[in-house]
Amino acid sequence: MPPRKDDRSDVTPPRAWQRMLSGRRLDLLDPSPLDIEIEDIAHGLARVARWNGQTIGPAIFSVAQHSVLVEAVFSTMEAGLPKAERLAALLHDAPEYVVGDMISPFKAVIGGDYKAVEHRLLAAIHLRFGLPATLAEALTKRIKTADQIAAYLEAITLAGFKVEEAKRLFGHPPVTLSAYQTLLEPWTAEEAKQRMMERFSSLETR
């Protein structure tokens, strides 16, 4: 019996991996920690724009720079934090070197599939660098708080938000803008990559 016209058994499945500059091929559906390199993460995040690029200045404010800012905020929230926790803060948005930085309203529209891919990637990244695949809930919440503080600072400094609007969306963080001013001046892609790599090197636990 000849095959039916809708029989697609001979069709090659769509490619689900991305080739990195390091030569690694990262499977997006089943990512292996062995295919993850910090150079690829820093390089990619340094070229991904926060706020969909809707920020002031001649250069984008990259996810790599945001990651450095979040780790700085996180590290000042409590004295003597372990390096592993600070590394987790630095890598909190690392999956975006593959999936990009979708703004929160769009993530809400897409729903669970996007988050599932993002969670698998983050688990693989954590394992690659000696962290638990899934962080303790309390640590995740503390990193989220630092992330919200960074978002507030970026919103009023770079993204055109009025202070009251930013407070409604991100809360009113107990920080002073001047403490992080130098981290809010957009870096070039190369500087953002290098600065993130430097922070990673200082925090790597193995």
Band of residue 9 on the pLDDT scale cut at 50, 70, 90: low
Contact 12, 23 (CB under 8 A): no
Band of residue 17 on the pLDDT scale cut at 50, 70, 90: confident
pLDDT of residue 50: 96
- Sequence spans of domains, the chain: 33-203
Task: Quote the CA–CA distance of 86 and 122 in Å, as a whole number.
Answer: 15
How high does pLDDT run on average in the chain?
Answer: 90
**Per-residue pLDDT at 141 exceeds 90:** yes
**Per-residue pLDDT at 173 exceeds 90:** no
DSSP H helices in 47-111: 63-76, 83-90, 96-99, 104-110
* Sign of the alpha-carbon torsion through 139, 197, 100, 73: positive
- Name 25's bridge partners: 19
Range 135-153 average pLDDT: 97
**Per-residue pLDDT at 85 exceeds 60:** yes
Q: What pTM was computed for the model?
A: 0.88
Range 119-138 average pLDDT: 97
Band of residue 116 on the pLDDT scale cut at 50, 70, 90: confident
Contact 61, 55 (CB under 8 A): yes
pLDDT of residue 126: 98
Cβ-based burial of 39 (10 A; exposed 0-12, middle 13-18, buried ≥19): middle
The DSSP symbol for 103 reads -
E strand or H helix that includes residue 26: strand 25-27
Distance of CA 166 to the CA centre of its chain: 21
pLDDT of residue 112: 60
pLDDT digit string (tens) for 149-160?
A: 999 999 999 999
Task: Quote the CA–CA distance of 99 and 107 in Å, as a whole number.
Answer: 12
**Could you tell me which residues come within 8 angstroms of residue 61 by beta carbon, excluding any fewer than 6 positions away?**
49, 50, 51, 55, 154, 158, 184, 186
* Sign of the alpha-carbon torsion through 73, 77, 83, 84: negative
CATH class of 33-203: mainly alpha
Task: Quote the CA–CA distance of 14 and 6 in Å, as a whole number.
Answer: 17
- Name 27's bridge partners: 17
pLDDT of residue 101: 72
pLDDT digit string (tens) for 38-72?
A: 999 999 999 999 999 999 999 999 999 999 999 99
| Nearest one of 88, 54, 90 to 71, comparing CA atoms | 90
